[in-house]
Amino acid sequence: MKVLVVGGGGREHALVWKIAQSPLVDTIYCAPGNPGTAALAENVAINVDEVDVLLEFAKAEKIDLTVVGPEQPLSMGIVDLFEEHGLKVFGPRKNAAIIEASKAFSKDLMQKYHVPTAAYGVFSEVGPAVAFIERTGTPIVVKADGLAAGKGVIIAQTREEAVAAVTDMLSGNAFGSAGSRVVIEEFLTGEEASFLAITDGTHIIPLASAQDHKAIFDNDLGPNTGGMGAYSPAPVVTPAVHENAMQQVLRRAVDGMAAEGRPYRGVLYAGLMVTGDQVKTLEFNARFGDPECQPLLMRMKSDIVPVLLAVADGDLSGVQIEWHDKAAVCVVMAAEGYPGDYRKGDAISGLDDAADLDDVYVFHAGTTLKDDRCVTNGGRVLGVTALGDTVQHAIDRAYQGVGRITWPGVQFRTDIGRKAIGRTR
């Protein structure tokens, strides 16, 4: 089989790495890919938003399966386009990817189908938004409606901060058209978990539990990022939490989407806030989480390709996914300045030394080659991911890998996985 993976981040490197292990696959292309995927696949210089060019490539190369990593091409309708041309593709269609592309849509869906979530309002005018903020009190959460790379959410501690965020977003200064509507919602407390499942629109197979680390600094301080590290399994997802997430969140959302005439096929990612056994949904994503995908795929024992094919064919019945007993931890190494404006072009040293470690794999995200050297080229640069018999063991391994790699201005959190240790062994 020939497989095309669309994307060029850590998630796509992990997908390529996992797909490359399948005996069903002869050739993998990755568009645009990165220096990490180049070791396992043939990189193709097409960007993720050039969906027509991707289609021409897939037709010309007779690609048997296309796997779409990021949200942008999904929300542009890449899946609809490929299906119209008879090509097999893994991911939700445009009318289902809206579950991530519009937070207002997603909140209204949750309300209609009784998926537990924070109380909220949707606004396109400053006046009513301010009235809502005054009624609700602070802290309060202001979210741009559209896609904002995980950065369109402001947790406002004061009325002034909340009003400033709303004004900024609605004026188009922050996040452009993604902020032309805002969702304002109640601030929830608890511990977050990333709950991902694969679905064909009817059957739902949960993936192993995972936890992300959104804030840039240790102890969850500082602004939110796309994710600074992740691990699996996440002990906060107890059997009772798992059951509630499956029944109250995934089942209701998948059935709700079907009832709306928007059958959902692909990975559905629920960002959960967990308090005791109770779960509330912070958001849905229409794709694998990044960096959650890295530890999850390192732990996946089953061949992923039959699973992806079954979803593309619309029938997951009879499919099972097995997991390694081990834990996996991914520590993201980021460029100076991230999540704000960040430096690019710094030479990365130590990649080979880190790769020498057993059970450590360095997934590339924002890297590129310059004069045959691997240099930084994005905010999140690498995801150093390790397996271990326990979460602590995997943490130690991952940080051993991190310790061998450096560049000027590198930043990473030193507490990835610590919440799991608080709960186990």
By beta-carbon proximity to ligand AMP, the closer residue of 271 and 378 is 271
Segment contacting ligand GLY by CB under 6 A, of 121-129, 139-147, 248-256, 287-295: 287-295
Determine which residue in the list 13, 93, 181, 214 makes contact with ligand AMP, applying CB under 6 A.
214
Asked if residue 227 binds ligand GLY (CB under 6 A), the reply is yes
Asked if residue 290 binds ligand GLY (CB under 6 A), the reply is yes
- Taking CB within 5 to 8 Å according to partner kind, which of ligand GLY, ligand AMP, none is near residue 209? none
Residue nearest to ligand GLY (CB): 227
By beta-carbon proximity to ligand AMP, the closer residue of 104 and 328 is 104
**325, exposed or middle or buried, with CB in 10 Å at 0-12, 13-18, 19+?**
exposed
- Taking CB within 5 to 8 Å according to partner kind, which of ligand GLY, ligand AMP, none is near residue 256? none
What does the buried/exposed string (b/e) look like for 120-138 if buried means 16 or more CB atoms within 10 Å of the residue's CB?
bbbbeeeeebbebbeebeb
Query: Do residues 416 and 291 make contact, with C-beta atoms less than 8 angstroms apart?
Result: no
By beta-carbon proximity to ligand AMP, the closer residue of 271 and 388 is 271
Asked if residue 289 binds ligand GLY (CB under 6 A), the reply is yes
- Taking CB within 5 to 8 Å according to partner kind, which of ligand GLY, ligand AMP, none is near residue 419? none
**Cα 101 to Cα 310: distance, rounded to the nearest angstrom:** 25
**Cα 389 to Cα 326: distance, rounded to the nearest angstrom:** 5
Site for ligand GLY in 140-169 (CB under 6 A): 150
Selection from 300, 296, 297, 267 nearest residue 284 by Cα = 267
Segment contacting ligand GLY by CB under 6 A, of 133-141, 201-209, 285-293, 333-341: 285-293
Selection from 312, 320, 297, 287 nearest residue 90 by Cα = 312
Q: Report in angstroms how near the CB of residue 182 gets to ligand GLY at its nearest.
A: 19
* 90 alpha-carbon distance from chain centroid: 15
Tokens of 94: 């445009």
Q: Report in angstroms how near the CB of residue 280 gets to ligand AMP at its nearest.
A: 8
Q: Report in angstroms how near the CB of residue 63 gets to ligand GLY at its nearest.
A: 25
By beta-carbon proximity to ligand AMP, the closer residue of 89 and 230 is 230
Asked if residue 192 binds ligand AMP (CB under 6 A), the reply is yes
Asked if residue 109 binds ligand AMP (CB under 6 A), the reply is no
Tokens of 99: 């579950």
Q: Report in angstroms how near the CB of residue 23 gets to ligand AMP at its nearest.
A: 37
Q: Report in angstroms how near the CB of residue 192 gets to ligand AMP at its nearest.
A: 6
- Taking CB within 5 to 8 Å according to partner kind, which of ligand AMP, ligand GLY, none is near residue 192? ligand AMP
Determine which residue in the list 46, 141, 147, 298 makes contact with ligand AMP, applying CB under 6 A.
141
Gyration radius of the chain's alpha carbons:
20
Query: Do residues 175 and 219 make contact, with C-beta atoms less than 8 angstroms apart?
Result: no
Asked if residue 50 binds ligand GLY (CB under 6 A), the reply is no
By beta-carbon proximity to ligand GLY, the closer residue of 73 and 226 is 226
Determine which residue in the list 118, 254, 274, 402 makes contact with ligand AMP, applying CB under 6 A.
118
Residue 242 phi, psi dihedral angles, 5° rounding: -55, -45
Asked if residue 227 binds ligand AMP (CB under 6 A), the reply is no
Asked if residue 224 binds ligand AMP (CB under 6 A), the reply is yes
Distances (CA, A) of 415 to 331, 332, 338, 409: 9, 11, 18, 19
**358, exposed or middle or buried, with CB in 10 Å at 0-12, 13-18, 19+?**
exposed
Tokens of 274: 């967990």
Tokens of 207: 């993936």
Q: Report in angstroms how near the CB of residue 98 gets to ligand GLY at its nearest.
A: 16
Segment contacting ligand GLY by CB under 6 A, of 26-34, 284-292, 311-319, 389-397: 284-292
- Taking CB within 5 to 8 Å according to partner kind, which of ligand AMP, ligand GLY, none is near residue 109? none
**Cα 81 to Cα 58: distance, rounded to the nearest angstrom:** 11
Question: Which residues touch 159 (CB under 8 Å, ≥6 apart)?
Answer: 133, 134, 138
Residue nearest to ligand AMP (CB): 283
**Cα 192 to Cα 279: distance, rounded to the nearest angstrom:** 9
The number of beta carbons lying within 10 Å of the beta carbon of residue 370 is 13
Selection from 243, 375, 290 nearest residue 68 by Cα = 290
Task: Return residues touching ligand AMP (CB under 6 A).
Answer: 118, 141, 143, 150, 153, 155, 185-188, 192, 214, 224, 271, 282-283
Task: Return residues touching ligand GLY (CB under 6 A).
Answer: 150, 212, 226-227, 285, 289-290, 292
